[in-house]
Amino acid sequence: MALCQAGLIKEEIEAAFPDLNVQLKKIKTTGDKITDVPLAKVGGKGLFVKEIEESLFRQEIGLAVHSMKDVPTILPEGLHLAAITHREDPRDAVISRNGKRLLDLPRRARIGTSSLRRQSQIRHLRPDFEIIPLRGNLDTRINKIEKEGLDAVVLAAAGMRRMGWEDRITEYLDPELCLPAIGQGALGLECRVLDKKVNSMLNRFNHAITSRCVRAERAFLKRLDGGCQVPIAAHAHLRDEERLVLEGLVASVDGSRVIRDGVAGDPEQPEMLGLDLAELLLAQGADAILREIYR
């Protein structure tokens, strides 16, 4: 998936700058290496970016392509996100064994997912479901439907679409049912702050609307100090080109408690919206859920 995404950016850069020769460098991160343990149990932040950022500092690469949902809200000094590209579909997708939609699956259906965020929301909708933790690339996770007798797997629609596998998707989950991860579907282009040539080149790939939406979501996450160990979700979209709408939630791992709300405001102040929503959820009891999880 990561190579596919980097390849898409490579093609865009080469189309915009025909004289530029772009090479891909494959870097295996901690998150890639640990495939037999759920990320929530590994702990820490930046599991999919740390080694790549170290390569940037060593000037072995000039540009890093990240899934924005994997990027910590605080970047190392000297690095920054020069662009956030046009967002792919941010929703979660269901791939089921018999073509049934998520809520039509039988009682005690076995659902595979790699995300605590998805797990908590699915359990809130259907407490009877058995959640099976999944790791590995897209193919590995999808193949476990047959290999492990799963009724369905839930994963990001963006990855399926970028791989050209839309025909395998049974259902796109409306954000009202399952709120996406912060930054899901968006790619971030990270480089060195002082590399003026690369920064100048990447400016043209920044998508203003996507950038504002993701910035609002990340400000929400930053205020809550969240990571992959905590069921936190948020999704922003522009309404009528005048209002940025941001919805967010904090949930207990078992899905028994879900605190969800939304705010709307000036698209030019996305970080302020993120902070406002975080404070709203904290005032409604999200702080108690977070304290319990962190403890």
Tens place of pLDDT for every residue, the chain, 295 residues? 888 999 999 999 999 999 999 999 998 776 555 555 555 554 555 677 889 999 999 999 999 999 999 999 999 999 999 999 999 999 999 999 999 999 999 999 999 998 999 999 999 999 999 999 987 788 888 989 988 999 999 999 999 999 999 999 999 999 999 999 999 999 999 999 999 999 999 999 999 999 999 999 999 999 998 766 689 999 999 998 789 999 999 999 999 999 999 999 999 999 999 999 999 999 999 999 998 888 7
pTM to 2 decimal places: 0.91
- DSSP codes joined into one string, 206-258: --HHHHHHHHHHHHHHHHHT--TTS-EEEEEEEETTTEEEEEEEEE-TTSS-E
Paired residues of 238 in beta bridges? 244
Question: What does DSSP assign to residue 187?
Answer: E
- DSSP codes joined into one string, 142-181: HHHHHHTT-SEEEEEHHHHHHTT-GGG--EEEPTTTSPPP
Calpha distance 28→76 (Å, rounded): 19
Q: Is 31 helix (H, G, I), strand (E, B) or coil?
A: helix
- The C-alpha torsion from 130 through 134 and 73 to 71, rounded to 10°, is -150
Domains identified in the chain and CATH numbers: 1-87+183-206 (3.40.190.10), 92-173 (3.40.190.10), 208-295 (3.30.160.40)
Active site residues: 70
